[in-house]
Structure 1
Amino acid sequence: MSTDRLWRRDEEVPAAVLEAIEQAVVLHGRQQTQGSDARDIAVALYENGELIAGGWGRTEFQRLYVSYLWVREDQRGQGLGGDCLRQLEAQALRRGCVDALIETLLDEVSDLLEHLGYVCMAHVHDYVPGFTRHIMLKVWTPRG
């Protein structure tokens, strides 16, 4: 029995295929667990109609997963990142989340997150040359 198998690599693999692989992995993982309630969560701050800060992620299994948190460069240093994070946290708490998870490669962001109540659960030195990956967790209600 012969098959016509064909490997495609790098640029030969269309973006739609990459997305299909990602969705299949996520679906498989969720099928292994019980009670997935994944929902997107987002916040965006505008000034004079222009986006100046925002963040998004998801809530699932009573946890806030923050994927992205961003402040426009000329608006940094004013506390807007912390404000965005607090907005996401407030929404997550209303959804019944008991903790929040966020990762960063920047030491100064890790320090800010600690100031906001997050604890470094793990870090990987030189995750990207010259940068440490910080995995941060904030617990509102301990899990049983």
Structure 2
Amino acid sequence: MHWRQDADVSVADVEAIRHGVILHGRQQTQGSDAQDIACALYDDEGQLLAGATGRTEFQRLYVNNLWVRAERRGQGLGGEVLRRLEAQALRRGCVDALIETLLDEVAALYEHLGYACIAHVHDYVPGFTRHTLLKVWRGRD
């Protein structure tokens, strides 16, 4: 046996570790129906302007990334991308959505869009608070 660390661990092996942890967790539960989910907006030339990615699983939308091109921010595109991602999740039978951010102003935007802060960690990264927010469409049984 031998150990590898940092850059000596291949990208493929890092991904195998990540996949192994997720697989193990899903084996402990029943009914995993994980599916990737995405929504993106393009201009007329095909350039990406905004988008979101995540997954749906266990009747929950997990939003991993929400991005708007810098020069297009402040125009409501982020909210529209999120609403469209939520609509897809609702069609898949999701009853709630979970999203996180390190930015106070973004957390306030999510709250404006119907999310409630369920946890926060001050100085998660020096100078930033990690906000975890949940939006409930239908209560769980």
Identity within the alignment, %: 72
Q: List 4+ stretches of structure 1 deviating above 6 A.
A: none
Q: What are the superposed Cα offsets for residues 109-131 of structure 1, whole Å, 9 maximum, x if unpaired? A: 00000000000000000000000
Counterparts in 2 of 1:24-43, with a 5 A limit? 24-43=20-39
Secondary structure, aligned partner of 1:142? coil
Aligned residues: 140
Secondary structure, aligned partner of 1:78? coil
Equivalent position to 2:78, from 68, 75, 81: 81
Equivalent position to 2:41, from 34, 37, 45: 45
Q: Which has the larger radius of gyration?
A: 1
Question: Partners in 1 of 2:6 and 2:87 — Cα distance?
Answer: 41
CA positional deviation for 1:107: 0.4
Question: Partners in 1 of 2:132 and 2:122 — Cα distance?
Answer: 12
Unaligned 5+ segments in structure 1 are none
Q: What are the superposed Cα offsets for residues 72-108 of structure 1, whole Å, 9 maximum, x if unpaired? A: 0000000000000000000000000000000000001
Amino acid aligned to 1:72: R
What TM-score, normalized by structure 2, do the two folds share? 0.98
Unaligned 5+ segments in structure 2 are none
CA positional deviation for 1:133: 0.2
Q: What is the RMSD of the two structures over their aligned residues, measured on CA atoms?
A: 0.4
What TM-score, normalized by structure 1, do the two folds share? 0.96
Amino acid aligned to 1:83: E
Amino acid aligned to 2:38: A
CA positional deviation for 1:140: 0.3
Residue 130 of structure 2 corresponds to residue 108 of structure 1: no
Equivalent position to 2:14, from 6, 15, 18: 18
Equivalent position to 1:139, from 109, 133, 136: 136
